[in-house]
Amino acid sequence: MTRLAWWLIRAQFLSRRSATALSMLAIALGVSLGYAIHLINAAALADFAHAMKSVQGEPDAIIAPRDSAGHVPRALIDEIARDESVALVAPVIETRVRLGRDSTAVRLIGIDVFSAAVLMPSLLPRDGAPASGGILDGGLYASPTLLDNLGLKVGAGATVIRGESRWETPIAGDLPALAAGEALLVADIAWVQAHFGPHAGVGELRVRLMPGSRAEAWRAAWAKRLPPGLDIRAAADNAARIANISRAYRVNLNVLALVALLTGAFLVFATQLTAVAQRSTQFALLGVLGLPPRMRLLQVLFEGVAIGLPGSALGLTLGYALAVMFTRVIGGDLGGGFFAASTPTIVPELLPGLGFLILGCGASLMGALYPAWLNRIQPLAQALKTGFAQRPPGDAPRTLHGRRVMLLAIVAVIPVLTRLPAIDDLPLAGYAAIALVLVLGIAAAPVATRLAFGAMARTTLPAPLRIAVQNVLQAPLMAQVAASGLIVSFALTVSMVTMVASFRTALDQWLDTVLPAPHYLRSKGLPLPRELLAALELPGTPFVRVERMATGSLSLDPRRPPVALLVRELDRADPGARLPFSGPVLTTPNGEITVWVSEAMQEVHGLRTGQTLHLPLLGRDIEVVVGGVWRDYARQFGAIAISATDYRELGGRFEVTDLALWPHPGSEDAARRWLAAEAARHGIESAESADIRRLSLSIFDKSFAVTYALEAAAMLIGLFGLAVTLAASVWLRARELATLSALGFDRAMLARAVVFEGALIALVGLALGLASGIAVGAILTHVVNPQAFHWRMPLHVPWTQVLPIALATLLAGMLASRFAARQATALPAAHVLAGAQ
Amino acid sequence: MLSVVGLGKRHSGALRPLFSELRLAVGSGEVVALVGESGVGKSTLLNCIAGLEQADSGEIRIGPDALDMHRLDETARAALRAARIGFVFQAFHVLPTLTVAQNIAVPLLLNRAPPAEHGERVESLLRRVGLAGFGPRWPALLSGGELQRVAIARALVHRPALILADEPTGNLDPRTADEVLALLLERVREQQAGALIVTHSRHVAECCDRILTLTPDGLECAHPAGPSQGGRSHHPEPHGGEPTSPPALGRGLGGRVVQ
């Protein structure tokens, strides 16, 4: 029996090489995407966790300010050190600095060398230049990677700059225990504090408890006692925070991989269905000869696995290659911008590999399931005589009434799903709604066909068109399958094009509002030199207006990424002049501190305009009013804008990090020269708004490039499905066509009838695909994007892209039908008729 | 080899049964022709005997230990077909994607015959049907007569108790038809199987040991008079035909007696 199964599989593959190879490739594509995403992400997270562990050590608790401008006060350090459960406290100050004229911002970590020896041994320095003294004498230590990157030598002098503060010190040695890839500086905490602050405390306190202490209980107890500006967390929370950063992005990529896998399953379905149809007489013969019914089912499933197994194996190989290539070309964040500059090492993993292999085989098996069932229930005697029965007796016919009830139920459920909140930050209900829209599109095909062509069938039509309309109206299985393939692939394409176009249009408009000035100066989060700011105040500069901004961050939830704090010179009476509000803006009385939150804050923290909010600002718990919600496509995890006036009144230091500059009319060239000179002098970045806009849009286009490739693949698969199923349908009707030929249809008329049929099926598929695609696009835009990425945008259907794609697909569908028609009319009618019994 | 008792079948929605209380038997080495007008139910009867259609009543027993096909489930019926029945069809039905030898070996695979025996049994049958050396060839390259010889070899390779043939010469020219029919009868008798041949051809019917005519009233049995006598005697047997004992030897083709 196994031998027979093998003979049949081999014969099937040899006689349908291209269809089989394409199905395998489609499965391989899905598996490779999924596996590559998994490998890259696992490697990037492992890399990041390793790096974090080496810098952070493995403390039992970390106490840190919630505001990036805050600090852990000295008194608290002493208090914690006196706690009898505490074995060791390690104070740390981490800041970002520049080395000399180089514009790169580098991490500088100030450690207490004695506690670090126990808690963070990877940060321990090695003296390399005896003359420059040790770490306690103010030596600076650079990681080997940083030395390489900047071309520095141990023993050389370095100028460490942050804002106004400068520290001239020799590079006394390196950090041998740090993993390659880590670019950072280490110095004694007292020296760092003396030069860059904070003077009243330290940046972070890492705590090691006595053996046998219950770390969680200890943290919980201290969490209640800490002042409002501080939070306490476990080392693992940081890892979770990192994993959370890229989670939605990863899940979305995985959904795309799943879609690719499902299209693979569809191809296997179309291939196996047509294979079953074309071999129905052979299977019937084998059944008559005594092949058990179970084996007729299993044979088709075996063939499914025989497609899935090599396809998945190829997918794993491709996935590994893709992962290696992607990490080299675009880094470990897959273009998401989450783990900048990391190039992790990709290690193939057995268990996940096995999982993806099973997933690929499962998809292929799923595609083969219905064809296998149809094969199992074919009436043998009838199939042997008249070939494939598209509606065999065992296949329970779905009544029109039942179908209508099902359609109505789906129509009712979809809006409910789109209103459900995200589950664990994932838009699962949104994904379910998308799946249901596609099911609805497919299930509506027979109804739509009757509506569209029912009236047409009652009119007088040329003979070939009448034949085509009748065939499509009867909606045999093959026509339904062909239409379904097109519906799904076109819907996916339209939805992606719609989502990307909506996003791009919204981004374009948003850039207009957020880049009002022609020129910008930035220092990557470091304070701008006061000298530069003072120069701008002098008369004679070529600028008519300068707006200043300071950036920081606030940690609102220890397990979530921190949100950005933007201190801006805003007119409190008219914040809409600078922030693109998406809803009403509240005018608040003076004296009430107002903040304007980004849409991501609204999504994540459920904020509303007018509501009060407690922020851990400047080490205190400060009540603020949400004055409005603005659109921000730059900071996915949320941003809070506050006016510089309010911030100063709260006692904050307005350390400017970014400048927006308007030149005097007519002095544009002078302004450019002035900025270029200052940027070079201070090692900061100067950019024109047009450049920023161009760069932003090009980054956007690059990060969505992979979706265009997937759209093209989906359309090809849909078209291939149409060609395969139409060819099979024509093949199954060879006798009917031969009879028509005998009745006086010439070849051209027959070919026209088949091409018309293909065009009618394609029209139904495209119309339903378009409707479903716009609906899926709307769900992606209004549900998935806000829930997964916290981005809202208006829906924009790019008709100028969608309609040409539809037209091209219709033409390609007609071309595919011509191919089927040529096959159908190639056999002499007499020969076909002679084969009839 | 075949015993049918009280067989009845009514198509769903039909006013009267297609046939009822049919009784017929085919003995070892006996070749029986089943004739009748189109639509009278010959193919349905053949399908019921093969277990491809479910009869409404009656018993169908095939082979020495006489299992009732009618009482078995679908899988057991398939197993019984594989073990006890060989089929020859008008349209040959040779699998185009398998070689001639592979086609003939299919029943051996279905019966899980020891693989070591396959080659020898297939080769021996190929010789007996006059296709020695045709094993590795593909069906597409064979003529109609050759294809039907392959089908006959496939029907006999697993030594079934019963051969069911549906118009086995219907697609062949008269000369090839004669050759193929002679071969079929010769091999059936050689293996001491029973054969039931559905045919519209008077010539084919007259080469058989007995002729059963299916009418709306039941089966009538006749013994062929032989081509030289140009006719046959009628013995109305409303309840079917029993095997003659000892089985009458088939009348020769062109005067040749086949034994």
- Find all residues with CB under 8 Å of A89, minimum gap 6, and list them: A77, A80, A81, A115, A205, A206, A207, A208
B87 neighbors B184 (Cβ within 8 angstroms): no
Asked whether the beta carbons of residue B95 and residue A380 sit closer than 8 angstroms, the reply is no
Write the DSSP symbol of residue A706.
H
- Find all residues with CB under 8 Å of A231, minimum gap 6, and list them: A63, A64, A66, A223, A555, A558, A616
Closest-CA distance, B257 to chain A, in angstroms, reads 31
Phi then psi for A97, rounded to 5 degrees?
Answer: -135, 170
Chain B residues touching A283 at Cβ < 8 A = none
pLDDT digits (tens, 9 = 90+) for B141-189: 888 889 988 999 999 898 899 999 998 888 888 888 888 888 889 888 8
| List of chain A residues with pLDDT < 50 | 337-341, 836-837
Beta-bridge mates of residue A233: A62
Closest-CA distance, A287 to chain B, in angstroms, reads 7
Closest-CA distance, B195 to chain A, in angstroms, reads 16
Q: Determine the residue type at B141.
A: L
Report which secondary-structure segment, H or E, holds A144.
Answer: helix A144-150
Rounded Cα distance, B49 and B3, in Å = 9
Of the residues A1, A2, A281, A285, the best mutation for testing chain B's interface (the one with the most B CB atoms within 10 Å of its CB) is: A285
Chain A residues touching B82 at Cβ < 8 A = 289-291
Asked whether the beta carbons of residue B78 and residue A287 sit closer than 8 angstroms, the reply is yes
Both tokens of residue A110? 């100030």
Report which secondary-structure segment, H or E, holds A729.
Answer: helix A705-732
Both tokens of residue B71? 């009482």
Rounded Cα distance, A53 and A43, in Å = 15
Closest-CA distance, A720 to chain B, in angstroms, reads 24
| pLDDT for residue B101 | 93
Asked whether the beta carbons of residue B93 and residue A384 sit closer than 8 angstroms, the reply is yes
Closest-CA distance, A11 to chain B, in angstroms, reads 5
Radius of gyration for chain A, computed over Cα atoms and rounded to the nearest angstrom:
33
Nearest-CA neighbor of A327 among A46, A61, A606?
A46
Say yes or no: A781 contacts chain B, CB-CB below 8 A.
no
Rounded Cα distance, A240 and B229, in Å = 99
The 3 state secondary structure assigned to A619-677 is CEEEEEEEEEEECCCCCCCCEEEEEHHHHHHCCCCCCCCEEEEEECCCCHHHHHHHHHH
A289 neighbors B77 (Cβ within 8 angstroms): no
Asked whether the beta carbons of residue A293 and residue B115 sit closer than 8 angstroms, the reply is no
A363 neighbors A265 (Cβ within 8 angstroms): yes
- Per DSSP, the residues of B185-217 read HHHHHHTT-EEEEE-S-HHHHHTSSEEEEEETT
| pLDDT for residue A635 | 82
Nearest-CA neighbor of A658 among A463, A756, A517?
A517
Rounded Cα distance, A69 and A583, in Å = 30
Rounded Cα distance, B29 and B127, in Å = 21
Handedness of CA A164, A170, A176, A181 (dihedral sign): positive
How many separate helices (H) and strands (E) can be counted in chain A? 28, 21
Asked whether the beta carbons of residue B110 and residue A289 sit closer than 8 angstroms, the reply is yes
Rounded Cα distance, B242 and A61, in Å = 97
CA dihedral A273, A276, A280, A284 (to 10 degrees): -130
Asked whether the beta carbons of residue B97 and residue A11 sit closer than 8 angstroms, the reply is yes
Radius of gyration for chain B, computed over Cα atoms and rounded to the nearest angstrom:
18
| pLDDT for residue A770 | 94
Reported as half-sphere exposure (CB side, CA atoms, 13 A), residue A88 has a value of 18
Q: Which of residues 305-344 of A touch B (CB under 8 A)?
A: none
Inter-CA distances, B244 with A129, A156, A774, B24, B253, Å: 118, 118, 77, 11, 21
Of the residues B92, B110, B138, B172, the best mutation for testing chain A's interface (the one with the most A CB atoms within 10 Å of its CB) is: B110
Q: Which of A15, A290, A837 is the closest to B82 by Cβ?
A: A290
Q: Which of A285, A384, A837 is the closest to B95 by Cβ?
A: A285
Residues of chain B contacting A, Cβ within 8 Å: 43, 47, 50, 52-53, 74-75, 78-83, 85, 87, 89-91, 93, 95-98, 102, 106-107, 109-112, 115, 154
Chain B's closest residue to A6, CA to CA, is B98
Nearest-CA neighbor of A51 among A352, A341, A350?
A341
Asked whether the beta carbons of residue A3 and residue B110 sit closer than 8 angstroms, the reply is no
| pLDDT for residue A415 | 93
Nearest-CA neighbor of A24 among A262, A268, A257?
A268
Write out the CATH class of domain B2-73+80-235: alpha beta
Both tokens of residue A225? 């006692």
Chain B residues touching A835 at Cβ < 8 A = 91
Mean pLDDT of chain B: 81
Is pLDDT of B237 > 60?
A: no
Chain A residues touching B95 at Cβ < 8 A = 11, 282, 285-286
Of the residues B11, B84, B95, the best mutation for testing chain A's interface (the one with the most A CB atoms within 10 Å of its CB) is: B95
Chain A residues touching B47 at Cβ < 8 A = 381
- Per DSSP, the residues of chain B read -EEEEEEEE--TT-SS-SEEEEEEEE-TT-EEEEEE-TTSSHHHHHHHHTTSS--SEEEEEETTTTEEGGGS-HHHHHHHHHHHEEEEETT----TTS-HHHHHHHHHHHTT--HHHHHHHHHHHHHHTT-TT-TT--GGGS-HHHHHHHHHHHHHTT--SEEEEESTTTTS-HHHHHHHHHHHHHHHHHTT-EEEEE-S-HHHHHTSSEEEEEETTEEEEEEE--TTTT-EEEE--TB-BPPPSSPPPPPPBTTB---
| pLDDT for residue A454 | 80
CA A309 to chain centre: 28
Both tokens of residue A56? 């952070």
Beta-bridge mates of residue A113: none
Beta strands in A210-282 (DSSP E): 230-233
Interface confidence, given as ipTM, is: 0.81
Of the residues B106, B108, B152, B200, the best mutation for testing chain A's interface (the one with the most A CB atoms within 10 Å of its CB) is: B106
Both tokens of residue B156? 């006999």
| pLDDT for residue B177 | 85
Is pLDDT of B34 > 90?
A: yes
> What is the per-residue burial (b if ≥16 Cβ within 10 Å, else e) of B176-189?
bbbbbbbbbbbbbb
| Cβ atoms within 10 Å of A802's Cβ, excluding its own | 20
Inter-CA distances, A794 with A305, A495, A785, Å: 44, 14, 11
Write the DSSP symbol of residue A346.
P
| pLDDT for residue A330 | 62
Report which secondary-structure segment, H or E, holds A92.
Answer: strand A86-99
Asked whether the beta carbons of residue A282 and residue B107 sit closer than 8 angstroms, the reply is no
A-B contacts (CB, under 8 Å): 69
Write the DSSP symbol of residue A332.
T
Asked whether the beta carbons of residue A288 and residue B50 sit closer than 8 angstroms, the reply is yes
Across the beta sheet with A639-643, the strand order is A612-617, A620-630, A594-598, A639-643, A563-568, A543-554, A658-663, A519-522, A685-688
Say yes or no: A17 contacts chain B, CB-CB below 8 A.
no
Rounded Cα distance, A26 and A20, in Å = 10
Chain B residues touching A289 at Cβ < 8 A = 81-82, 87, 106-107, 110, 154
Q: Could you check whether the bond before residue A527 is cis, i.e. omega within 30 degrees of 0?
A: no
